[in-house]
Amino acid sequence: MEYPFWEVPLLGGGMVIALISIAHVFVSHFAVGGGLFLALTERKAQREGNRELYAYMKGHARFFVLLTLVFGAVSGVGIWFAIALAHPQGTSLLIHNFVWGWAIEWCFFAIEIAAALVYYYGWERLSPKTHLTVGWIYFAAAYMSLVVINGILSFMLTPGKWLQSGNFWDGVVNPSYLPSLLLRTGVALSLTGLYALLTASMIRHDGARGRQVQYASKWTLAGFAIMPPAGLWFLLTVPPGARSIAFGGAPAVTIFLALSLAISLFILVFTWLTAYRRPARFTPALAALFLVVGFAVTATSEWVREAMRKPYIVYGTMYSNGVRPGDVAAISKEGYLPRLRWAEVEDVKQPRAGEEIFRFQCGSCHTIDGYNAIRPLIQGWRESFISAQVHHLDELKGFMPPFAGTDEERQALAHYLAGFWGYPAESAAMQKPEASR
C-alpha cells in the first residue's frame, strides 16, 4: 500500500522469498548442526588417535565450508533482498523493532564466518587443541545466531506480550520461542546426519565407510528423537487460528503437513534400516536420495509454518498484504485507493481501479495465472457473487484478511475479477473489462 508492488509474473513475490528461504534453511541448519558435528567428531578423532577419522573429517570440513559459506551465507543475505522487495512494509516493521536483534546476530555471524575460515585453513597450521577450540567457537557462534534469529522468526507467528508492551524481549522470547528453537535444533541435527551420510558414503575403504555411515546415521536419528515432542509443543503454543489452518481449516496446508510428517517418517525408517543397520552397503546415490527427500521435507515444513501464519505477516499486527488490522475500519470508510501512493488511478471511477486494487491488496498472495492463481479460484463466479465473497472474505476463509476498502472499491474489484471469465458487467457504472486492460 505504502510501497510500490513488485510484480513477479507467475511466481509472485512471496514465492521468490519462499524459494530463497527454503534453500537457505536447508543449508543454514546444516551450518548449525554441522558445527557440533565438526567439534565432536574431531574430538573423537583426537581421543582415539584415529587417522581414518581425521582424513574423513578434513574432506567433510572442506565440503562443509564450501557449502555453508558460498551458499549458506550468501542465500541468507538473499532473504534480506527478497523480503525487502516483496514485503517492504513488513520488513520495515521488523527492522524498526528488531534491528538490534539482527545486529547482535550479525556479531555471531561474523565470528561464525571467521571461525569457519580459520578452521578450514588451519588443518595444517593449528595445534590440535587450538583447532578443536576453533571448531567449538564456530559451533557456539552458529548456534547463537540461531538462538537470536529464531526469536524474530517465532515472533512473527506468536508476538505474545509484545503486542501490548512493544518490548524487545517480549517479542523475542515469545510463546513459541522455546519449542521452535528445540524443533530447529532437531532439524539441524538430522540434516547434519544426512549431509554427513553423503560425505561418509564416498569414503573408499569399506570398513571406514561403514563406520562413518553408521556414525552419521546416529545424528539423523538423534534429530528425529527431538522433533516429535518439540513439534507437538510448538503446535500447542501457536494461536488457535494457526492451529486450525494446519488441521483442516485450509486443506492444502493440512495435506502439506501430513506430507511433511510422512516424508519425515520415511527418512527415519529408511535411515535406520539402511545407514544404521547395514552401513557397509550404503552408497552415495542413496545418500543423495536422502538429501533430496530431506530437502522436500524442509520445503513442505517451512511452507506449512509460513501458511499457518495467514492471514498475517506479523500475527495480530499486519496482514500479509501490508494492511494493519487497526486501519481496516478507516480504510473501508475513506477508501483504499486514496491511500495508494503508487497506483495509476486515484479514483474508483477510473477504468483500472479494480485492477490496481487487486494488484496492491491481493497481489502479495495471489497471481493471476501462476502460483495461488486467482483465475481458477473464481471460475464460474459472477460479479455479484465475487463482491459478496470479498465482502465477507475473512469470515468465509479464516486464512484471508478482510477486504479493506469502500463498497464502491469492492465493486470495482469484483468487476475486474469477473472480467477474467468474460461475464457481462452487472454494474452499469463500470466499463467493460476489455477496455480496462
Partner 1 sequence: MNPVIPPLDPAPLPAPVWLFYLLLVVTFLLHVLAMNLLLGGGLIAAIAGSRGRANVPHQRRLAEEIARALPTVMAATITLGVAPLLFIQVLYGRFFYVSSILLAVPWICVIGLLMVAYAGHYFMASSPTVRRERFLWVAWGAALLVAAVGFVYVNNLTLMQAPARFRAMYIAERSGLRLNLAEPTLIPRYLHMLVGALAVSGLGTIVLGRRFLAGEDRPFGLWMVRMGRNWFTSATLVQILVGIWFLFSQPSDIRNALLGGDPIRAALLFGGIFLALAAVFLITVRPDSLKVVIGAAGSLVLAVASMILVRQWIQDHWVRGLSGLDRAAVHVQWDVLALFVLCFAGAIGTIAWMVRRYVLEGKVPEELAAMRGGSAPRR
**Binders of partner 1 among 339-378, rule CB under 8 A?**
341-342, 344
Q: Considering only residues 323-342, where is the footprint of partner 1 by CB under 8 A?
A: 341-342
Member of 22, 25, 93, 227 binding partner 1 (CB under 8 A): 93
Q: How far is the CB of 85 from partner 1 (least distance, A)?
A: 5
| Binding region for partner 1 (CB under 8 A) out of 121-129, 199-207, 295-303, 410-418 | 121-129
Looking at beta carbons only, is 12 or 239 nearer to partner 1?
12
| Binding region for partner 1 (CB under 8 A) out of 100-108, 209-217, 248-256, 413-421 | 100-108
3-state SS string over the chain? Answer: CCCCCCCCCCCCHHHHHHHHHHHHHHHHHHHHHHHHHHHHHHHHHHHHCCHHHHHHHHHHHHHHHHHHHHHHHHHHHHHHHHHHHHCHHHHHHHHHHHHHHHHHHHHHHHHHHHHHHHHHHCCCCCCHHHHHHHHHHHHHHHHHHHHHHHHHHHHHHCCCCHHHHCCHHHHHCCCCHHHHHHHHHHHHHHHHHHHHHHHHHCCCCHHHHHHHHHHHHHHHHHHHHHHHHHHHHHHHHCCHHHHHHHHHHCHHHHHHHHHHHHHHHHHHHHHHHHHHCCHHHCCHHHHHHHHHHHHHHHHHHHHHHHHHCCCEEECCCEECCCCCHHHHHHHHHHCCHHHCCCCCCCCCCCCCHHHHHHHHHHCCCCCCCCCCCHHHHCCCCCHHHHHHHHHCHHHHCCCCCCCCCCHHHHHHHHHHHHHHHCCCCCCCCCCCHHHHC
Looking at beta carbons only, is 84 or 286 nearer to partner 1?
84
| Binding region for partner 1 (CB under 8 A) out of 115-123, 185-193, 225-233, 295-303 | 115-123
Burial class, 224, CB count within 10 angstroms (exposed 0-12 / middle 13-18 / buried 19+): buried
Member of 11, 80, 347, 424 binding partner 1 (CB under 8 A): 80
Member of 118, 153, 173, 261 binding partner 1 (CB under 8 A): 118
| Binding region for partner 1 (CB under 8 A) out of 28-36, 88-96, 174-182, 271-279 | 88-96
- Contact string (CB under 8 A) for partner 1, positions 176-205, x = contact: ------------------------------
Looking at beta carbons only, is 91 or 384 nearer to partner 1?
91
Q: How far is the CB of 230 from partner 1 (least distance, A)?
A: 26
- Contact string (CB under 8 A) for partner 1, positions 142-181, x = contact: ------------------------xxxx------------
Q: Considering only residues 31-50, where is the footprint of partner 1 by CB under 8 A?
A: 49
Q: Considering only residues 50-79, where is the footprint of partner 1 by CB under 8 A?
A: 51, 54-55, 58, 66, 69-71, 73-75, 77-78
Looking at beta carbons only, is 92 or 372 nearer to partner 1?
92
- Assess 108 for contact with partner 1 (CB under 8 A): yes
164 contacts: CB under 8 Å, gap ≥ 6: none
φ/ψ of 174, rounded to 5, equals -100, 175
Member of 47, 127, 333, 428 binding partner 1 (CB under 8 A): 127
| Binding region for partner 1 (CB under 8 A) out of 103-111, 293-301, 304-312, 419-427 | 103-111
Looking at beta carbons only, is 115 or 245 nearer to partner 1?
115
Looking at beta carbons only, is 340 or 390 nearer to partner 1?
340
Member of 126, 152, 222, 261 binding partner 1 (CB under 8 A): 126
Query: Are 274 and 286 within 8 A, CB to CB?
Result: yes
Member of 12, 35, 101, 354 binding partner 1 (CB under 8 A): 101
